Amino acid sequence: MMADGRSPIVVTVDHPPIGHAAALWSACLAERLSCPLRIVYVPTSCDGLSARTASKRTDPAARSRQSATAVDNAIAAVRRRYPELLVTGGVIGGPAEEALASVEEDARMVVLGHPDVGALDVLAATFHSATIADHAICPVIVWRGRHDQLPDRRLVILAVAGASGDTGAAVAAFHYANLFGASVLPLCVGPEQPAAVIPTEPVPAVTTERNSLDADVAAAREVFPDVTVAASAEISDAALSERVIGAQLVVTGADGHAPVSAVRGFDAELFRRSRCPVMICPSRTPPVGLGANPLARPAPPIPGVQIRALTPEDREAVATLHRQMSAHDARLRFFSALPKHIEAFAEQMCLHDSTHLALGAFEGADLVGVANYVVTDATPGHVAAEIALAVVAHDQRHGIGTLLVRRLGTAAYLRGVERLTADILTENTLMLAIIAEQGWKDALRYDGTVAHFDLGLDAHRQAQHARIG
């Protein structure tokens, strides 16, 4: 079995046969994320029936058997296709809000199997989806699609409105795209244009909202530099329903204060008309990627400092940064003198793949700090990576190391790393202080002149969630 002990994706199957298809879609995503899947049936007031047939409902016992059968059938279908995936399920009663609190308690995300456009009681089902999304504390996907639809390489749309920023939604969109080799189209959604003819294609424009969206996209690219992303553009909310045709997922956000259905007009339209899944990332908690931020609060930005993934074009800057190290700093970083072949070392650091990632901190064109990880154990369920940090002497104690380490830890978690490790000399007080600032002090074990750092990322996320709750 895969991923025992990690937060599950929860999918509802109370609207068959859409729920059945949503379960298979969710299972594909859970397998890629190496997390469990929980299939639940949440009865609603209409329970998928039209008002005309509500009086002809079966008795409670028969309905209970019907609910259990829907869950059992979905579990069986998932296990046939994904035999190694950990799958559980059950029927959850009570009002939608209480059911939501129950299924979301430890969920990585919630997927709502939703009736297709034109269903008899689509209005009631839409209300049910909006109610759950309004109270969400983790990403919620309103799922609607073909019976055989699975995640693939089709376009992912990031649809954002307003100038307040929505980095959680941006990173979630990039995370999903990275998992399946898809590309991302960022759209700034605004009011309907007054012109008589509304274009169905995005129209580039420069606005405050666009600037905010571009900043969110830049932050997401730090974590997922391999994702192909189109230039951001503006589109009217009236044209969005047409634009999402052919996409496989729309990702949007909510401000955490007003109900999702009241935050933006296009949310309601997406609920009612979109034929592809819609992911809503509430910002009442700091969602990162496809689940809550495992590293608690995000590190604040530093004015004038840009963090991004290193590329092969940065290898000379990496080599120069390390050549400028004092003998003392080199010993703290390498436990010895600088590597003899610093150019080859720098070139290797600038290559990122499934087992390597390096982030650089730039002040203008100058590289002033580097944090990287290398996977040391790729065993499924036990993926571990060793981290390292180097900051030029005149920029130490300015928060750059803290920013790099936190961004690197988040990126590692989102890329499937489950443990961060490092050996740190006890005289390296700056690195030990950074570890303490992250709230990771308990992950240190001292052995003479060396402190061994070993942090379980998922366990840390759950501990933070428990403290916040």
User: Same domain, yes or no, for 358 and 404?
Assistant: yes
Say if residues 27 and 37 touch (Cβ distance below 8 Å).
yes
pTM to 2 decimals?
A: 0.67
289 occurs within a structural domain: no
User: Same domain, yes or no, for 163 and 213?
Assistant: yes
89 occurs within a structural domain: yes
93 occurs within a structural domain: yes
User: Same domain, yes or no, for 95 and 27?
Assistant: yes
User: Same domain, yes or no, for 347 and 437?
Assistant: yes
Q: How many helices (H) and strands (E) does the chain have?
A: 15, 17
User: Same domain, yes or no, for 317 and 168?
Assistant: no
Query: Per-residue confidence of the chain (469 residues) as pLDDT tens digits?
Result: 334 446 789 998 887 777 888 999 999 999 988 889 999 987 754 444 333 334 445 567 777 788 888 899 999 999 999 999 999 998 887 655 566 566 666 788 889 887 655 444 444 444 455 555 555 567 888 888 777 889 999 999 998 875 545 677 888 899 899 889 999 999 988 776 554 444 555 544 445 556 678 888 887 887 788 899 998 888 887 788 778 888 999 998 764 333 344 344 455 555 556 678 888 886 544 434 444 444 444 556 678 888 888 888 999 999 999 999 999 999 999 998 888 899 999 999 988 777 888 999 999 889 999 999 999 998 877 889 999 999 988 767 778 998 899 888 888 887 778 899 999 999 999 999 988 888 888 899 999 999 999 998 865 444 444 443 4
What CATH number is attached to the domain comprising 156? Answer: 3.40.50.12370
User: Same domain, yes or no, for 196 and 59?
Assistant: yes
Amino acid at 352: H
What CATH number is attached to the domain comprising 316? Answer: 3.40.630.30
Q: Where are the beta strands (DSSP E) in 288-354?
A: 305-309
Amino acid at 65: R
296 occurs within a structural domain: no
Which range marks the domain in which residue 40 is found?
9-282
In DSSP notation, 156-192 reads: EEEEE-SSS--HHHHHHHHHHHHHHT--EEEEEEESP
User: Same domain, yes or no, for 250 and 315?
Assistant: no
389 occurs within a structural domain: yes
User: Same domain, yes or no, for 327 and 369?
Assistant: yes
Based on the structure, what is the number of domains in the chain? 2
- Reference 125, options 138, 139, 110, 143; nearest CA is 143
28 occurs within a structural domain: yes
User: Same domain, yes or no, for 40 and 181?
Assistant: yes
288 occurs within a structural domain: no
298 occurs within a structural domain: no
Q: What is the DSSP letter of 57?
A: P
User: Same domain, yes or no, for 322 and 268?
Assistant: no
- Reference 392, options 437, 348, 329; nearest CA is 329
User: Same domain, yes or no, for 121 and 178?
Assistant: yes
